[in-house]
A and B are shown apart, each in its own frame.
Chain A
């Protein structure tokens, strides 16, 4: 059976992608997935060579044909997104519901499929990577995330790869829910700050809501030891295990600027801690 571990953070910038890149270097025989389709970054470290590009279709686009339109105003009256003004549809406001198209008495509204982004299957030094790029100002990131994960699982199945490592997206909304549904294990990366603790609680609630087993890693733990203790307390109260603590270290930024995973950039304390984190995580996954 294929196991999938998804790395989430609630808030962005906690070091999620840097850790995933290190896991990519440490884990054997796996498929990697970047689900942060809004602001994908994993490719900056894994440097993929794209093998396959697929278009992603979102909701349809609608346009009013001026030659047919009788300016009755029905479409504008029905549109709840204020996307129609002066017999023109503003794509930025349109949510693609198609009510205008269906209600137009003279069929003056035309529709066409809209490419909202692309997803890729790539080769990297560390194994295959499935990733995507959502078009700017496009919607449906949740649907694109679902598509990318499906493609990764299909590939793992076909090639007999037992493990999928997924870099999730930030927040608790649409793309995140699409990142975690049906995953075996979630690793939440947090930091010892008041806002980090606040976001951790929100994401733990979300995992509990979907009944998914979660583990926690505290990044930059020595930035504020008091807050680190509080986060450990919070995890204990909720019966969530803290499987790793990583120190506040500028080598995260240095490795990033060089474009290599931290564990390949240095073999100091931080790398040892990341290796031990991955070891713990892997044990949990196989137990």
Chain B
């Protein structure tokens, strides 16, 4: 089963939930895989502290122009929807960061002057800890296109395991790439107007993706009930609440798992998993 952990907004505690859920389930003997798909700012490894066994650079095909054959006709730049190519008299300029690797330029070049060459966009690191099979992607600084790296990371999914995906924030390309194909998505939110606003966006996104979902309220403070009203109105189950506690924030600040230091939480996370399994049926 693939469970993704998402939220419209960053900083709601996605990584905290993903890592503590993975840890608690692994402790109870589940066969577990955790993939950190927030390749722009991966953080799960800080908490899981895996022994990195594999480092794999990820390449992305970009055009390579054979200047001997090129006539500078400009056809490639004309068809490129992403403005990754620019042709002037006697020169073809390529902006590899803008390329989506659609292959159009090489396919349509009238002179057959374009081939493709790998451009490194980041790397995948994989290893294990606490019996969790763990992998994450790290986008190189200055690269803008995260989805190909996420796609490559998701190739590691082992459907025979419980797979937990820590998704990036937002509602556009990277998070869609991460959540696509999940059996269930847990949306993490916090009880503030920001939390509610971004939760609504994330709910819309999941409806488009047709992935079943439920809500977890993090930093619950018993002061702001708008999220409860919204969920009730929309018929969305709230399946867990984690209180706003300085102790939890302090454990987090040290880069540690709170379910490890406060073991009573392990049962709560296992219950969360049971609720997810129940809702999936």
Interface-facing stretch out of B25-33, B189-197, B258-266: B189-197
Q: In this complex, what residue of A is CB-closest to B80? A: A97
Give every chain B residue within 8 A of A198 (Cβ-Cβ).
Answer: 41, 43, 46
Contact residues of B between 166 and 188, Cβ < 8 Å to A: 168-174, 176, 180
Interface centre among B197, B205, B208, B253 (most CB of A within 10 A): B253
Stretch of B137-145, B154-162, B270-278 that contacts chain A? B137-145
Q: Which of A45-73 contact B (CB under 8 A)?
A: 59-60
A103 contacts the other chain (CB 8 A): yes
Q: Decide if A137 touches B102 in the complex (CB within 8 Å).
A: no
Known: A172-B139, A224-B254, A256-B194. A137 touches B107 (CB 8 A): no
Known: A38-B172, A41-B194. A136 touches B10 (CB 8 A): no
Cβ contact within 8 Å between B253 and A170: no
**CB-CB contacts of A118-134 with B at 8 A, as 1s and 0s?**
00000000000000001
Verify A173–B144 contact, CB threshold 8 A. yes
Q: Mark A6-30, 1 if CB is under 8 A from B, else 0.
A: 0001111110010000000000000
Q: How far is the CA of A13 from the CA of B219 in the complex (A)?
A: 12
Number of B positions contacting A (CB below 8 A): 57
The number of chain A residues touching the other chain, given as a range, is 35 or more
Q: How far is the CA of A96 from the CA of B81 in the complex (A)?
A: 7
Complex Cα spacing A225 to B171, Å: 34
**Proximity bits, B56-94, A CB within 8 Å = 1, else 0:** 000000000000000000000001011000000000000
A202 in contact with B141 (CB, 8 Å): yes
Number of A-B residue pairs at CB separation under 8 A: 180
10 nearest A-B pairs in the assembled complex, by CB-CB distance: A13-B11, A12-B10, A194-B255, A97-B102, A38-B170, A171-B40, A174-B144, A193-B253, A224-B253, A195-B43
Extra contacts, 18 of them, besides A102-B79, A171-B169, A193-B252 (Cβ < 8 A), are A13-B10, A38-B201, A39-B9, A41-B197, A41-B198, A44-B197, A59-B81, A60-B81, A80-B103, A97-B81, A102-B104, A136-B205, A137-B205, A176-B40, A195-B46, A199-B41, A206-B141, A209-B141
Name B's A-contacting residues (CB within 8 A).
Answer: 8-12, 15, 40-41, 43, 46, 79, 81-82, 100-104, 107-108, 139, 141-146, 168-174, 176, 180, 190, 192-194, 197-198, 201, 204-205, 208-209, 221, 223-224, 246, 249-250, 252-255
- Residues of chain A touching chain B, judged by Cβ–Cβ distance below 8 Å, are 9-14, 17, 38-39, 41, 44, 59-60, 78, 80-81, 92, 95-99, 102-103, 134, 136-142, 169-174, 176-177, 191-196, 198-199, 202, 205-206, 209-210, 223-224, 227, 248, 253, 256-257, 259
